[in-house]
Amino acid sequence: MKKTCLLTIFLFSTLGTYAQFGSLEDSLLRSIQVASTDTAKAILLYELGDQWSVSDTGRAAAYIREGLRRSGKFPFYQGVGFFYLGRAYMDTDGNKAIIAFDKALDYLHKYQTTESYRLQSRTWANKAVIAQRNNDNKQYLDIFLNHAIPLAAKARDSIRVAEGYTNIALPFMNYEEYDKAIFYFHKSIEIFRRHAPLDPRQADNFTNLANIYIHRQMLPEAKTSLDSAFAILEKDPHSLYFPYYYTTEGMYYRAKEDWKKAENSLEKGLVIAEKIKSRFDIRSLLFQKAKLYNSKHDLLASRNVLLKIYNEGYAEIDSDKRNILQELAFVEAELGNMGAAYRWQTMYSELSDSFYKKQSSLQIADLEGRYNYVQKEKELLKANNKERKQRMIMWGSIGGMLLTGGLFYYLFRLRKDKAEQELVYVKQQQQIAVAQALLEGEEKERTRLARDLHDGLGGMLAGVKINLTSALQDTPSAEMNRVIAQLDNSVTELRRIARNMMPEALLRSGLESALAELCQSCHTDRLHVYSSFLNIKAGMPKQIEIIIYRIVQELLANVVRHAEATEAFVQCSQDGNTFYITTEDNGKGFDQASGKSSKGLGLGNIRSRVEFLKGKLDIYTKAGKGTIVNIELPTDERA
């Protein structure tokens, strides 16, 4: 049974279909033209480059590098850009891809956020794919077990954890340890079934299972898995996952000796693989086509296909080259060309010898090291046997005393640490209670003042206006008209102050409407405020909605009062029980190291509210370069 190297294709998971690419490119280009900030344009350029990475690496890299240029002052977005640049180079230049991925990790590892962890996981996973292409399965497994999967778990990204299980299963599948491979594929399938049952990566899991069942001659099980995969993929006829599906379907029909259906499946796969320029899929499909001709006893056609794979460089990794060489030797022998068969078999043996030589040398060195160690240990024991016995008694006594003392010390430290932890916990609860009382008191006082201003002073001013208007009818006067106009302005300003203290929109229409109205109120001829609100759900506790509103209000106040900006962007979104706030301006920024930020710009109030909700606050700013504030707030911490 031949081993087939199945490189993971999860790195294409965010791509749209090839047929829809033109319209998607036009849409992205239009979005870039109207984007208001450099970072927004950079992200769109990255996405555009990612679309082109399938068919035109040079064009993809050009778009991504332009995005890097625009995001130069923001390290996090630089990391995002190098991640996409690595993806663009993956299929054409592995070394350039690794350099880009390493740069991405240098930027991203400084940020302990959910999105950073997710991108780091994807970056490591792409590096693992390159390691597998270089025949380094040890590094491939090490990366997934120690980097990609743990980072996906830290990002609370269940789908990437599922992808990790898939990619751990692949080497077991390649080396025919099918029980382990099936175990990990099923773990991945269960996660996808709960979170994304129609994801095309789920189809890839079912296709891999079908491949295993075909090798085990379990054809009914293989057909069931293929049907499950097709039910997902049929919604997108140009899916990047179809070439591998058709490769496996061709194997299934070949096993059933249905040559016509087998060839039809392989031809369908080749059309898509050549369209998306996937050399790996083309190699797999051509190899199965050669096997099909062999099964049909059309040895000349089989040899021609194998030579095409070998001569045109489709077999890039050693395991694939060994498969091709061995098949060529077999076909030439069947054709009676023993000289050619001998040459191919010699090349196969030399490649196999070089592949296993290093592994054998390491095993021999390990055995030799173990032997030398054992010999020295025996000599040492023989020479010092008597002295060893005497010392055993002495060290045993000392060891017992140290163990007893260590046990007492451990129990003492355990008790002390427990007491300290309880004290810290009590202090934290007290601080939370105080913060909650302060915030609740502040909001109650704001509500009371807003009501008093609106109903009390506002009503009085309205009464004065009515009386003045009545008096004006009896005795017309230009001066009286001017006083009434001033009174109107005073009433308007009073209502604005009352609305800021307790926004009516928040109570009347909910958080999203209140935030939109807040952003609109800050939009002036000198400051253009753009806003975006995504997936904001109703039903959050009112106290949390008020805290979120106050945070955005304070951030916008900082921009208006201090930033001297002409453009500002506010984005609020919700993902499950996490609320995200991002503000960005093109103002003068400030020096965080000076210590003036929290005092001069009122960030202390923002920090206290974020800490109260146990959230995260990140500020990226530099004098003269603008300011970006990212806030992440749990919405289920407080009732």
HEC string of 257-279 equals: CCHHHHHHHHHHHHHHHHHCCCH
Same domain, 518 and 450: no
567 is a domain residue: yes
- For residue 529, what are its two tokens? 């405020």
* 306, amino acid identity: L
* Vertex 300 angle, CA 299 and 306, to 5°: 85
Can you spell out the DSSP letters for 555-621?
HHHHIIIII--SEEEEEEEEETTEEEEEEEE-S----GGGT-HHHHS-HHHHHHHHHHTT-EEEEEE
Residues 466 and 568 in one domain: no
User: Which of 500, 535, 558 is the last residue before a domain boundary?
Assistant: 500
Same domain, 478 and 423: yes
Given pLDDT bands bounded at 50, 70 and 90, which one contains residue 244? Answer: very high
Tell me which residue of 56, 5, 54, 14 sits closest to 247, measured CA to CA. Answer: 5
Band of residue 426 on the pLDDT scale cut at 50, 70, 90: low
pLDDT digits (tens, 9 = 90+) for 277-316: 888 889 999 999 999 998 999 999 999 999 998 888 888 7
Tokens 């070439």 correspond to: 243
Token pair of 227 as six digits: 């049907």
DSSP string, 520-560: HHH--SS-EEEEEEESPPS---HHHHHHHHHHHHHHHHHII
Confidence of residue 429 (pLDDT cuts 50, 70, 90): low
516 shares a domain with 486: no
In whole angstroms, give the CA distance from residue 608 to residue 133: 50
Q: How far apart are CA 117 and CA 123, in angstroms?
A: 10
Helix, strand, coil shares, percent, the chain, to 5 = 75, 5, 20
pLDDT level of residue 402 (50, 70, 90 thresholds):
confident
Q: Tokens for 287?
A: 């190899």
Beta bridge pairs of residue 620: 628
- Average pLDDT, whole number, for the chain? 78
Residue 441 in domain: yes
Same domain (yes/no): 513, 481: no
Residue recorded with tokens 């030797």 = 329
pLDDT band of residue 263 (cuts 50, 70, 90) is very high
What letter does residue 455 receive in the DSSP assignment? I
Which residue type occupies 537?
K
Q: Is residue 381 part of a domain?
A: no
Report how far residue 321's alpha carbon sits from residue 337's, in angstroms, rounded to the nearest whole number: 20
Residue range of the domain that includes 515: 509-634
Residue 509 has pLDDT above 90, yes or no: no
Q: Is 134 helix (H, G, I), strand (E, B) or coil?
A: coil
485 plus 532 within the same structural domain: no
Tokens at 160, concatenated: 């990437």
In this predicted structure, which of 427-431, 481-485, 535-539 has the lowest mean pLDDT?
427-431
Residue 327 CA, chain-centre distance (Å), reads: 41
Report the CATH number that the domain containing residue 623 is assigned in CATH. 3.30.565.10
Q: What is the pLDDT of residues 29-85, one digit of tens each?
A: 777 776 667 888 888 888 888 888 877 888 888 988 888 888 877 888 899 999 999
On whether residue 202 sits in a domain, the answer given is: no
Is residue 435, in this structure, part of any structural domain at all? yes
pLDDT score for 90: 86
Instruction: Please check whether residues 533 and 586 belong to one and the same domain.
Output: yes
Q: Say if residue 496 is in the same domain as residue 549.
A: no
Higher-pLDDT residue of 362 and 560 is 560
Q: Are residues 482 and 565 in the same domain?
A: no
At 271 the pLDDT is: 92
Looking at per-residue confidence, does 218 or 71 come out higher? 218
Percent of the chain beyond pLDDT 70?
Answer: 72
Based on the fold, state whether residues 459 and 564 are members of the same structural domain: no
Say how far apart CA 494 and CA 103 lie, in whole Å: 54
Calpha distance 51→92 (Å, rounded)? 15
In a domain, 5, yes or no: no
Residues 514 and 462 in one domain: no
- Range 398-403 average pLDDT: 71
- The verdict on residue 191 lying in a domain is no
CB atoms within 10 A of CB 453: 18
Helix (H, G, I), strand (E, B) or coil at 627: strand
Q: Do 514 and 619 fall within a single domain?
A: yes
Element (H, E) at 71: none
**Per-residue confidence (pLDDT) for residue 14, from 0 to 100:** 34
Residue 259 belongs to some domain of the structure: no
Domains of the chain: total? 2
* Residue that finishes a domain, picked among 472, 500, 528: 500
Rg of the chain taking only CA atoms, in angstroms: 34
Q: Would you state the pLDDT for residue 4?
A: 36
Tell me which of 500, 522, 544 is where a domain ends: 500
Length of the chain as a residue count: 639
